[in-house]
Structure 1
Amino acid sequence: MLILGGTMALPHVTIAQNRAGSTSGNGGGLRNRTGSGVTLANSLVAANTAPGGIGPDCNGAFTLTAPVMMTQPSGCALSGTPALVNDPLLSLLENNGGPAQSHLLLAGSPALNIDAATACTASPVAGVDQRSIARPYGAGCDLGATEASTPSGSNLRLTTGTVGLSWGTDNAQTAQHVLRLAVAPSGPVQTFGPLPATATSYGDATAGNGTLYCYLVTPADTGGILGISDLLCTQLGLRTGAPAPNAFAVAQGQTSTATLTWSPPVGGVDGYTLLVLPDNGDPPVTLPLGSGVTTAAYPTGGDVTCFILFGTRTAPAGVGYTDLLCAVPSVATLGRVSLGQVTALTSPLIPAADALAERLAALAREYWFQPLAPAFE
């Protein structure tokens, strides 16, 4: 940006990855030839280049009236608030929603939550970034033109018995959908929504017994899908009466570890046994658990894995078990990713999930009709 005269105030702007226009040009991001009159506040000036060798980010006089982060302030005559010299960790210029392309702050950026929340709520910023995403988000205002945004759908949790989904919300989405893949026997992909941007749960009252259903959450804004959550599956109709555990649930938090939770049945149990059905060719595993345990973490190693939880009781004697739950790792794309990347990742998802679910259902049926494992005999 070349400033030839007058005065100018630049609050919450991002000036990044620019180049001075001639082979001897200076001030790749900003060049002020007036000698004064230009103020910067809550802004980012980063990764610019100057073929002339003077002031890659800026050249000339600038007054900083609030925090400003620069990568290379040499060549600038700065006054006011001292500049923060650091790499803000910016994405490339791309479509992140809104009327124009933008740079996003990547995870771990030192420009996150730098200033007080009031710094971006007053005019002229008025509580929105250049994409009309609400700001601030978090403990304070981020520097630059965009507020760091993350789509919803993190930490998806699937509870069986009656199908219930819950997940973490965030600030990037304007709407959300739940996708249900009905497989084994194979059926159509159904979309539930749009759900409100602030929704954090959904109950599927239409799921029938005997079908393996897989679920995921897709947050979106006006530009399209922002990512997809973990993929979690369940098959209803297996659960017995007491002493079957209640509220059996699985989550994997975008990791390769499945976390299982439950609540004890009325009357309690003498112990639990977790049946693990891996889809990698390994034999089923049975894990005995104490009567007071209500959670277990199982490292899947990146393999699709299914679970059934048994409760045992001696007086009155009985064995009860839950419906089937499955965790499918390495599916989630949540985070600060481009819309193009997400579209490319989601396009092959549905047939892949369908094939996975068919294998899981076959594995569960094969084991289910065998004699009970020694732990239950």
Structure 2
Amino acid sequence: MEIQFQLEKKDLWELSKNARIYSKRFKTTRFWLYIILIAGIFILSLGNSFHYALFQTLLISAIIFPILEQVMYYVRDKWFINQNFLGERTVILKEDGIELISASKQQLFRWNHYESMVEADDYFFLFDKEGKGIQIPKRALEEDVVDKIRHTLKEHIPMFMQHQPSSIREVVPALQIIVLIFLVILMLINQMDWNKEKDPLSSEREAIYGLFVGVSTEDTVEKIKEVGLELQKDITLEDIVQVSEQLRNAPMSNEFFDFDKYALATLIDQAEILYYDRELPKEQTTGVFSGESEHWKIVDYTVKASPALFRTYAGRMYMKGQDMYEAALFKAEFYIRFVGKDDLFIHNNIIADANEGVKPRDLEISEESTGEFYREYESYRNMQGEPVSIQRY
């Protein structure tokens, strides 16, 4: 039986649609592609919180990728069609197979080459094991010819399916293009407002980046560190402490921004190191310290302070033979005095919460720690040669 027809653009589109629905090879390939896609996106998103990774995986694999896939087929099979695929076609149904004849080639396929056949209202579709197919349009064919074709195909191809038409399937590609355009617009709007809406640390980032020379808020912390940091000349220790407090008081959001908060904190540490490297001499320096409060009297004593030992960390002082005492107000401010320069503030210790059992007395600081919070301490001696211990944590 010989069937002649003119292959048109709409014929290729119908074949493509039905292949995605009925071809076993196509459905199997798409299934494994989705599995790999879901696993890959989830693994790449694990640097963020689990919920964010799960949401991103579902968004891309269940919404964005299927839409892109359908739009790709729609554009390819509707608009970008090679004209060589169109034109006059001849299909000859023989006892041993199907012969396909076009203007450029002639092919013969055995019946066992095809594994399934689908009949629609206007077409017969034949699909092979590789997912490829051919279409036989019913237009311009008499009803008895259609019956003969159906009978012949059923006789030689084991799997026969009747296509169920759906009006929804016809409008889905157009709807998907509209949804894709809508998502692209949302992404562009979202990207424009990223710094304001998506970065809860934008004000803290701007303040921290402002400590350094030539740093843009568009740069990442890693990029800034790679280029190298230089502290602004007019930055003081109070500026660094203020920025640190601002970051510390920033609200927690999700794991992604908490990680970013930690990265910004490392920049503050670098600013502090650069400040002390600039302001403190490298050698040990002798300084004089004194102070007095309601319950405590600190006798002047001298220590040799290595700049590396004094940062902005809080400290504790211990009385000889006693646990740590609490006073109504005990404030000790430490400065190092240099010739030709102003006194440099290096340490501040305030203890509140009054202890009525404490009587005014001279402060004697033991060489050994008597408290339970020991982590690290340095021992010195005062002007009288008596031991002095300043413990830090």
> Same fold by TM (over 0.5)?
no
Name the structure with the higher helix share.
2
Q: Which has the higher contact order (CA 8 A, sep 6+)?
A: 1
Instruction: Give TM-score scaled by structure 2 length.
Output: 0.22
Higher relative strand content: 1
Q: TM-score, normalised by structure 1?
A: 0.23
Which protein shows a greater Rg? Answer: 2
